Chains A and B, each alone.
Chain A
């Protein structure tokens, strides 16, 4: 990808962010309204913390590889992950 264009890591950040929010939200809902048919280890509330981890990772990626930040050259110079044109 050429300088100034979106990095693949930004797309990945968006994906993790939205998926994380959806999973965490579904986990919180299940915590408040527990279903009758529960998965094994339901008491650990995995969707809440796993969704939270994905959300935070997505947030970091979206921020670090955001188009405005890249255009400003802040991340671009250090961007080992992104292909150069």
Chain B
């Protein structure tokens, strides 16, 4: 996924002027200022790890989205849009919106009422310590590895785009993130993510605006793409009837059930990196509104990610190629955003665009580090190593584990530098846990008969299914035809069907084991299971302030955009 590796020998894409440098330095100064300013407000565990649970819906919602809006994602999906066309938008629409609305309306009340500090913490309440231990240790381990990969990727991209020294980039970004997260805790991470969200839009929005002017509007864009590539590239659903009819080699079953029903549900509802932001909301209405606000903005993200990729297909005078053939002679798909930035943006705007990329990297890194800190302190250190210490002890541990998380990330970054292929493995391993975790959590919330043994064995078997299928295809690529049920399936289809199978196995095993093991008494399930939990009534507010109303509005908009680009 971080294919910029082969770009090491490419010439520098852009050259910054003095005003660009001032804009970038100003960003770092502001980020650190916010960290120092909020230091005094992170004294208790609730302050440091949960931002005092006092975030408004807007702040929690924008931070929820920003933690996911890393630059690897921006650059990677812009490249995918160039490669696969508008199909890339599925990862922002059906691959996000239904899951975010489901989190808001169905799952958030349980997370919020249980007053858990984390998703593994919820598993402890529902299924017991073994499930929490399995989930928290794997999450903490993978999170710092991902943070290191993020750090290395940022340094590599800055080297390719600007010619900056890799060591300098890693050092500056890691010290900055460590400083503002260790000082202000989750509150500082969240506030900086909101700032980063605004800067990402301010820096990236001009590309599609100017691109559409150059291409002659959306109809001009479609006409040019039909000539330069194929008319299929601008259709969202009509080419998904069969694996061989679209550039991605996938069908609608993989997109709807694999991506929409399993992968996105798993990511948006159980990945603590994003859920932590919503848990910091000040009340249950804000906790429900936050993912809905995030969903509204998520639906707009293709405008600054997918559209530039499509515009590049229409207006660039040369062809981009895959990483395996890109070298000093050409540019790869993943350089779409910087290339479009350099095409339209002169001094000043270029600095803001680069700041947007750096902000995206740092929000992703800080999200990983702050989630690691909470899971380490509450679900591993306090649960398994040192129980019953006072609150100040755990805050101190939180600060130290922030620094430790950053140091492990730096070590990972240099390790990845030596063994580049490890990146693909780590990212694959991370995906192993996501789909079965969703099966476990959703069964735990909605089915009171699910037992602790069922939850643990379901989670384990689902994860092993994922690992088994991935290893099978790795050893024998032709096995993909069995995993995805088609000889025409391509790599993207593997992830979707692998997730679908692993979630199915998790659910089946959880149900079977639960039916033959002893369930928890109902009294222990109050507050964590649907049917046994009294959902508190929201305050009486007008229709326009009700989460359900806005969920319906976002849901309708989701249907409309899918029909428009059918």
By secondary structure, the B interface counts as helix
Q: Is B19 an interface residue (CB 8 A)?
A: yes
User: How many A-B contacts if CB must be within 8 Å?
Assistant: 108
- Asked if residues A15 and B26 are in contact (CB atoms below 8 Å), the reply is yes
Partner among A12, A24, A46, A81 whose Cβ is within 8 Å of the Cβ of B206? A46
- Assuming the contacts A11-B30, A23-B349, A40-B343, asked whether A16 and B202 have C-beta atoms less than 8 A apart, the reply is yes
Q: Is A35 an interface residue (CB 8 A)?
A: yes
Interface size class of B (residues with CB under 8 A): 35 or more
Partner among A27, A35, A83 whose Cβ is within 8 Å of the Cβ of B348? A27
- Assuming the contacts A1-B41, A22-B22, A41-B210, asked whether A46 and B56 have C-beta atoms less than 8 A apart, the reply is no
Which residues of chain A come closer than 8 Å to B198, judged between CB atoms?
12, 15-16
Q: Is A18 an interface residue (CB 8 A)?
A: yes
- Asked if residues A80 and B347 are in contact (CB atoms below 8 Å), the reply is no
- Asked if residues B191 and A80 are in contact (CB atoms below 8 Å), the reply is no
- Asked if residues A50 and B349 are in contact (CB atoms below 8 Å), the reply is yes
Which residues of chain A come closer than 8 Å to B520, judged between CB atoms?
none
CB-CB nearest in chain B for A57? B202
Which residues of chain A come closer than 8 Å to B191, judged between CB atoms?
8, 11
Q: Which of A39-85 contact B (CB under 8 A)?
A: 39-42, 44, 46-47, 50-51, 54, 80-85
Mark B60-94 against chain A: 1 for CB-CB distance below 8 A, else 0.
00000000000000000000000000000000000
- Asked if residues B195 and A12 are in contact (CB atoms below 8 Å), the reply is yes
Q: Is B492 an interface residue (CB 8 A)?
A: no
Partner among B54, B59, B202, B345 whose Cβ is within 8 Å of the Cβ of A39? B345
- Assuming the contacts A83-B59, A85-B52, asked whether A11 and B34 have C-beta atoms less than 8 A apart, the reply is yes
In the assembled complex, the CB of A76 is this many whole angstroms from the nearest CB of chain B, namely: 13
The CA of A2 and the CA of B282, in the complex, are separated in Å by 13
- Asked if residues A8 and B194 are in contact (CB atoms below 8 Å), the reply is yes
- Assuming the contacts A8-B195, A83-B59, asked whether A39 and B344 have C-beta atoms less than 8 A apart, the reply is yes
- Asked if residues B30 and A30 are in contact (CB atoms below 8 Å), the reply is no
- Assuming the contacts A1-B41, A15-B26, asked whether A82 and B195 have C-beta atoms less than 8 A apart, the reply is no
In the assembled complex, the CB of B524 is this many whole angstroms from the nearest CB of chain A, namely: 34
Which residues of chain A come closer than 8 Å to B59, judged between CB atoms?
8, 81, 83
Partner among B30, B344, B347 whose Cβ is within 8 Å of the Cβ of A40? B344
- Asked if residues B352 and A39 are in contact (CB atoms below 8 Å), the reply is no
Q: Is B410 an interface residue (CB 8 A)?
A: no
CB-CB nearest in chain B for A20? B202
Partner among A2, A19, A46, A84 whose Cβ is within 8 Å of the Cβ of B41? A2
Partner among B17, B22, B210 whose Cβ is within 8 Å of the Cβ of A46? B210
In the assembled complex, the CB of B438 is this many whole angstroms from the nearest CB of chain A, namely: 30
CB-CB nearest in chain A for B51? A83
Which residues of chain B come closer than 8 Å to A81, judged between CB atoms?
56, 58-59
In the assembled complex, the CB of A83 is this many whole angstroms from the nearest CB of chain B, namely: 5
B interface, CB within 8 angstroms of A: 17, 19, 22-23, 26-27, 30, 33-34, 37-38, 41, 51-52, 54-56, 58-59, 191, 194-195, 198-199, 202, 206, 210, 213-214, 282, 342-349, 351-352
In the complex, the 10 A-B pairs of residues with the closest C-beta atoms, listed nearest first:
A26-B348, A23-B348, A8-B191, A26-B347, A26-B19, A83-B54, A39-B346, A47-B348, A40-B343, A81-B58
Known: A8-B34, A12-B195, A47-B348. 12 other contacts (CB 8 A): A1-B38, A12-B194, A15-B26, A15-B195, A25-B19, A26-B346, A26-B347, A27-B348, A39-B344, A39-B345, A47-B349, A51-B349
Q: What are some 23 contacts across the A-B interface (CB < 8 A)?
A: A1-B41, A5-B41, A8-B194, A11-B30, A11-B191, A15-B199, A16-B202, A19-B23, A22-B22, A23-B351, A24-B348, A25-B348, A26-B19, A27-B346, A35-B346, A39-B342, A44-B213, A46-B210, A51-B348, A80-B58, A81-B59, A82-B56, A83-B54
